[in-house]
């Protein structure tokens, strides 16, 4: 068996967790749930499956130092900065190049940094089965998430005919990848039992994904050997800066997954939460009898259904309902629960006002 690697994609800005997340400290660097930053939890989840020296992390170039600090178990050289954000397909091509430079016979998983997971033994079993599947042929393997509600926030994968199981985990051929649906469509998907959420987790051999990129998005397929050649060299960052910026922004779903016909999907039945915005914390913390969730130092009277994140200072609520309150050293956010999506509008206003120190 040749080497197994994992590449964690950890870019992104995470405005939806402002003011705790900032441009210089996005969501994956925060310990929103649990004691460690989400990126460190993503590394820890691989224990027994992929050792830290075979874990690579791709992040924004300006977040490399902070990511190294947040994931101290991973060798610093394994944490690589993308010079510019180009969505997931160029990131996958770069990941393929980096792994190929170490071991062209390797299989690797593409994982995400900003999810919270539970049932970790089952997660590891599923991921190991995906590795087995990827090593059994030229499959592109993905782990879909068994949906528990008709979410319109995820893309879906329609499962096709049954395939061979690996390590006790059933697999299906993929019938198709579909975009985020409207509510009615999502309800239909959920009722059918044939759809899973697109989690962004993929497993493939260097050979399989390189072939798929060359076939379906040659612009990126052609870059892999170029990037692999100078991987680890002193001039890597400078050379990458030139060529990475030149590629088009495109997701791996568009570039490959919606086109390829050699895809297997496992139905991930472990707990998986994208913790998309502040209201999602209610799924991870206990509430008091009035439905208030207090993380940190919180006192409340005649108040209900609030989510308060207040470490290092006291937040006192009187007669407040359905609010989110978030404290940081320099900022307090008070937001109606059903207006969390308007935090972006607030940040736009602060940007206009030149308030970069709080962004």
The closest alpha carbon to 135, from 270, 264, 227, belongs to 264
Shortest Å, Cβ 354 to a copy of itself: 12
Alpha-carbon distance of 42 to 284, in angstroms, equals 17
Shortest Å, Cβ 358 to a copy of itself: 5
Comparing CB distances to a copy of itself, the nearer of 160 and 296 is 296
| 3-state DSSP assignment of residue 127 | helix
The answer to whether residues 123 and 44 touch, using CB atoms and an 8 Å cutoff, is no
Comparing CB distances to a copy of itself, the nearer of 4 and 27 is 27
Alpha-carbon distance of 299 to 172, in angstroms, equals 50
Comparing CB distances to a copy of itself, the nearer of 22 and 86 is 22
Q: Which two tokens stand for residue 28?
A: 């994956």
How far apart, in Å, are the Cα atoms of 185 and each of 32, 143, 156, 166, 293? 32, 21, 11, 31, 33
Q: Which two tokens stand for residue 317?
A: 């609520």
Comparing CB distances to a copy of itself, the nearer of 148 and 336 is 336
Shortest Å, Cβ 304 to a copy of itself: 12
The answer to whether residues 89 and 250 touch, using CB atoms and an 8 Å cutoff, is yes
Comparing CB distances to a copy of itself, the nearer of 234 and 319 is 319
The closest alpha carbon to 118, from 141, 151, 145, 142, belongs to 145
Comparing CB distances to a copy of itself, the nearer of 1 and 353 is 353
Alpha-carbon distance of 162 to 22, in angstroms, equals 44
Shortest Å, Cβ 19 to a copy of itself: 7
Residues near a copy of itself (CB under 8 A): 19, 299, 301-302, 310, 313-320, 323, 325, 327, 330-336, 338-340, 342-343, 345-346, 349-350, 353, 355, 358
Comparing CB distances to a copy of itself, the nearer of 121 and 354 is 354
Shortest Å, Cβ 275 to a copy of itself: 19
Shortest Å, Cβ 299 to a copy of itself: 6
Question: Is the CA virtual torsion 245, 249, 252, 257 positive or negative?
Answer: negative
The answer to whether residues 306 and 292 touch, using CB atoms and an 8 Å cutoff, is yes
| 3-state DSSP assignment of residue 188 | helix
The answer to whether residues 330 and 322 touch, using CB atoms and an 8 Å cutoff, is no
Comparing CB distances to a copy of itself, the nearer of 208 and 303 is 303
Shortest Å, Cβ 60 to a copy of itself: 24
The answer to whether residues 141 and 203 touch, using CB atoms and an 8 Å cutoff, is yes
Shortest Å, Cβ 151 to a copy of itself: 22
Q: Which two tokens stand for residue 346?
A: 């607030």
């Amino acid at each position: 068996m040749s080497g197994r690697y994992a590449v964690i994609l950890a870019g992104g800005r995470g405005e939806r967790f402002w003011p705790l997340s900032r441009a210089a400290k996005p969501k994956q660097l925060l310990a929103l749930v649990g004691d460690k930053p989400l990126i460190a939890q993503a590394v820890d989840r691989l224990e027994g499956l992929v050792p830290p020296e075979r874990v690579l992390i791709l992040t924004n170039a300006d977040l490399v130092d902070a990511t190294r600090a947040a994931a101290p178990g991973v060798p610093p050289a394994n944490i690589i900065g993308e010079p510019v954000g180009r969505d997931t397909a160029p990131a996958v091509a770069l990941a393929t190049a980096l792994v190929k430079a170490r071991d062209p016979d390797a299989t690797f998983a593409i994982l995400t940094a900003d999810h919270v997971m539970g049932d970790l033994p089952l997660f590891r079993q599923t991921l190991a089965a995906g590795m087995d599947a990827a090593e059994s042929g030229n499959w592109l393997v993905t782990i879909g998430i068994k949906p528990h509600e008709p979410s319109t926030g995820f893309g879906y994968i329609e499962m096709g005919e049954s395939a061979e199981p690996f390590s006790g985990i059933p697999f299906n051929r993929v019938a198709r990848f579909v975009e985020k649906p409207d509510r009615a469509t999502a309800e239909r998907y959920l009722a059918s039992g044939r759809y899973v959420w697109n989690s962004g987790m993929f497993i493939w051999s260097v050979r399989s994904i390189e072939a798929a990129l060359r076939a379906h998005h040659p612009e990126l397929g052609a870059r892999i050997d170029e990037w692999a050649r100078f991987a680890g060299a002193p001039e890597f960052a400078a050379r990458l800066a030139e060529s990475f910026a030149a590629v088009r922004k495109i997701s791996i779903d568009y570039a490959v997954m919606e086109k390829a016909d050699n895809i297997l999907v496992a139905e991930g039945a472990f707990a998986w939460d994208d913790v998309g915005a502040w209201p999602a914390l209610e799924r991870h913390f206990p509430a008091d009898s009035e439905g208030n969730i207090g993380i940190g130092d919180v006192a409340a009277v005649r108040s209900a259904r609030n989510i308060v994140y207040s470490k290092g200072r006291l937040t006192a609520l009187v007669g407040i309902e359905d609010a989110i309150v978030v404290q940081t050293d320099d900022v307090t956010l008070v937001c109606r629960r059903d207006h969390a999506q308007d935090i972006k509008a607030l940040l736009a206003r602060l940007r206009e006002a030149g308030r970069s120190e709080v962004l």
